A and B are shown apart, each in its own frame.
Chain A
Amino acid sequence: MHFESPVREPLVLGKDTNYHTITEDICIETERRPSKYWFMSFGLALAVLTLLASCITYTIMTGIGVWNLNKTIGWAYDITNFVWWIGIGHAGTLISAILLLFRQQWRTSINRSAEAMTIFAVFCAGLFPVIHMGRVWNGYMNLPLPNDFGPLWPNFNSALLWDVFAISTYLSVSVVFWYTGLIPDLATMRDRSKSESRKKVLTFFSFGWTGSVRHWNRFELVCLILAGIATPLVLSVHTIVSFDFATSVLPGWHTTIFPPYFVAGAIFSGFAMVHTLLIIARKVMHLEKYITIGHLETMSKVLILTGGLVSLAYGTEFFMAWYSGYGYEQFVFMNRLFGPYWFGQWSMIAFNSCLPQLFWFRKIRRNPTITFIMAAFINVGMWFERFVIIVMGIHRDFLPSSWAMYSPTWVEICIFIGTFGLFFTCFLLFCKYLPVIAIAEVKSIFKITRGGKPVGALVGADEQDYNGDLGFELAAKAKASHDNHIEMMDIGKTGPSH
C-alpha cells in the first residue's frame, strides 16, 4: 500500500475537486470556441511561421550564401539554433520517462504538455541541419538506400550520420509515447462529445479505447517499457549531438566531458522552457489546481540541480584546459573569456551558473513571475552556451591568417525567429484541441496525493494555504484530519496501492 505523508503538499488542489471535475476542467478548453486571445496569438504565430517559410524558400532558392558563413566559420547560427532547440526538446521525455521510472507523481500534470513541447521543439531543431545541407533535395542520401550512383553508402562512422538516426528515432519514439498516452484521454473526450461529427473524429483518433481493465494492465506495461527505453534514448540524443563536436580534433571541442555536459545542459534548458510555457498556460487555461505552485517549485529545484551540473562542466573545461598544459586549448579558453565574443561567455556564466542560485530561496521558487523571468534568461544563457561552443570553437583556429568573425544576416535571424512561429503554431493547436494534462494519470494519483481520502472528504487545501510558508498549524490540521480519516475507514481500502 502506497502511503504519502499528510504534511506533503497535495498535487491536485481545490476543495471540491473530484474525478468528474478533473475531466471537466481539462476538457472544457477543447470544447468551447477559442477565445479572441487565442485567435490573436495563433494569427501572430502563423505570421511568424510564414516568415520562416519565406526565408527558408529564399535560402533554398539562392543557396546558403545568403547566410554569413565563411571559410573559417562553417557552422554558426543555424547549428547553434539546432542544438538549442534539440536541448529544449529534452525535458518532455525526461519528465515522462525518467520521472516515471523514479515514480515522481508530480510529473502527471505536466508530462503531456512537456512532451508536446518536446515534439515541436524537435521539429524546429530538425529543420536546421536539413536546410544547412543547401541542396535539401539530396537529403535522402543520409539514408542507406540502394542508389544509382554506384554502391555508395552513407558513412556509418560519422557522428553526423549518428545524429540523423538519433534525432529521427527520438522524434518517432516521442510521438509514439505521447500518442499512446493520449488515447485514453481522447476516449474521455469522445464520450463527452455532444456533436456527431466530433464524436466520429474522436472515435477514429482514440482507436476505440474502452478503458477495459485488461487494456489498462497492458497499457501500463507499455508505458513502463517505453519509459525504460526512452530513458537511455533521451540521454543518447544529446550525447550523440555532442559527438558532432567531440569527435573532431579541435581545441575546445575535443573533450570527453561533452556528452554528460550536453545532456545536463539540455535538461536544464528544457526545464527552463517548460517552466516558461507552463507558467503562462496554467494562468490562461485556469489550470492552477493541477499545475500548482508546488509543481513550479519542484521544477525550479531541477533547474538548480542541472544548472549546477552545467556549471561544474564549465569549471571542469577551464580546469582541464589549464591542467593539460596544451597551449592551443588554453588559448581557446582565454579567448572565450577575453576575446571578441566575451559577452557570450560572460552571459552564459551569468545566466546559467549565477542566476539559478536564486532558486535556493523558497520565496523565489514559489513566485511565478520571478521564476518566469529567470527561466527566460536561462534560455537566453543556454543559447549563448551553444554559440560559445560552436562559433568560438572555430573562429580563431591554428592559423591566425584565417581568423574570422561572424555575425548573422537578416535571413538567419528571421529563420531563427520563424522557428518560434512553427513552435507556437503547433503548441497553440495542441492547447486548443487536445487535453493539455494527462486526465487519466492525474485521476490515478488524485487520491494518493491527498492521503488516500475518498472523494468529498479532502484536506482543505487551497492554493493559498500552501502559498506562504507551510506552517505548523496547517500540518497539524492535515494530520488531525488524516488520523480521523484512518479511524473512519478500513485502511486496506483507502485507495489505489502503488
Chain B
Amino acid sequence: MIKIKKTDCIVAVFDDDTTLLGALTKAREKGFSILDCFTPFPVHGIEKVLGIKRSNLAVAAFAFGSFGFLLALTMMTYTLTFDWPEDIGGKPTWPLTSMVPILFELTVLCTAFGMTITFFWTCKLMPGVIPVIYDKRSTDDHFVVLFAKDKREAEVRETMQQNGVKEMKDDQYITHNFPGPLPIKLR
C-alpha cells in the first residue's frame, strides 16, 4: 500500500554554500533533525557534515557488469562452440581471445545501463515524476535545508538566524513509501 507522508517542516534558505556548510555543522552539533537538503550543485564536504554514507551503487555496477560479461560469454560459446561449430583452418571453436572485445563491450554496456537505471530507481526519478519543490531557487543559486518542526523549533530558528540564513518559511515535507519512482502529483 502506497502511503504519502507529510511532515511539518521549516524551510531554511541560504544564498551561499560556505554559509550553508557552517550552519549545517552547527545544526548537526546541536542534533537538530534535518529532513533533507537541496542544492543547485554538488556541494563538496556536505555529505560528511550531514553524515551521508557512500552509496552502494558500485555494487550494482559490478553486478550488472558481471551479468553483461556472462551474457556475452554464454551467447558466444553457445553459438560458436555448440550450436554451429565451424572448422576454420583448424582453429579452435572456442576462441576465447577473439571474444575479448565483445566481452568487454557487453560488460561496459550492461554496467552503464544497469547502474544508471538503478540510480534513477533509488532516487525515485523517472520521466513523469512531478517533483515537490520547496524553493524554486534551489536549482539556481540558493541552498535549502528542511528541518523537522518539533519541540526544538524555536532553537532551530535561532541557530539558523545566527548562522546567516537568508529566509525561513513553514512548509510540509512530502514523501512516499514506495521504493521507486511514482509518477503522481504529491502536492
Contacts and interface: CB of A to CB of B under 8 A. Distances in A.
Contacts of B187: none
B138 A493 contact: no
Interface of A: 2, 18-20, 23, 144, 151-153, 156-157, 161-162, 165-166, 169, 172-173, 176-177, 180, 183-184, 187-188, 190-192, 203-205, 207-222, 225-226, 229-230, 232-233, 236, 240, 243, 439-441, 443-444, 447, 454-455, 493-498
Interface stretch (B3-11, B39-47, B148-156): B39-47
Contacts of B18: 447, 454, 493-495
B57 interface: yes
Contacts of A233: 105, 108
Nearest to B141: A19
A158 B124 CA distance: 42
A157 to B, nearest CB: 5
Interface string B65-107: 1000000000110011001100010010001001101101110
Contacts of A444: 41-44
Contacts of A173: 108-109, 112
B126 to A, nearest CB: 6
Contacts of B127: 204-205, 207
Q: Which 3 A-B pairs have the closest CB atoms?
A: A208-B129, A19-B141, A496-B44
Interface string B34-72: 001111111111110010101101100100010000000
A218 B57 CA distance: 7
B45 to A, nearest CB: 5
A440 B40 contact: yes
Nearest to B65: A229
A214 B52 contact: yes
Q: Which of B54, B75, B84, B140 has the most CB of A within 10 A?
A: B140
B131 A213 contact: no
Contacts of A495: 17-18
A221 B80 CA distance: 38
Contacts of B17: 447, 495-496
30 contacts: A19-B40, A19-B141, A144-B75, A151-B83, A153-B79, A156-B79, A156-B95, A162-B101, A162-B102, A162-B105, A165-B105, A173-B112, A188-B139, A188-B140, A190-B139, A191-B137, A191-B139, A192-B140, A204-B128, A207-B120, A209-B125, A209-B131, A210-B139, A214-B123, A216-B43, A219-B42, A232-B108, A440-B41, A440-B42, A494-B18
Q: Interface majority SS on A: helix, strand, loop or mixed? A: helix
B38 A211 contact: yes
A144 B18 CA distance: 55
Contacts, number: 206
B32 to A, nearest CB: 15
Contacts of A454: 16, 18
Interface in B19-41: 21-22, 36-41
A157 B88 CA distance: 11
A389 to B, nearest CB: 20
Contact of B42 (A169, A216, A232, A494): A216
A191 B45 CA distance: 26
A230 to B, nearest CB: 8
A213 B47 contact: yes
B131 A222 contact: no
A152 B47 contact: no
A442 to B, nearest CB: 8
A198 to B, nearest CB: 14
Given A212-B37, A225-B61, A441-B41, A218 B141 contact: no
A19 B138 CA distance: 11
B181 A208 contact: yes
Contacts of A213: 36-39, 43, 46-47, 50, 52
B101 A222 contact: no
Q: Which of A151, A152, A493 has the most CB of B within 10 A?
A: A493
A23 B140 contact: yes
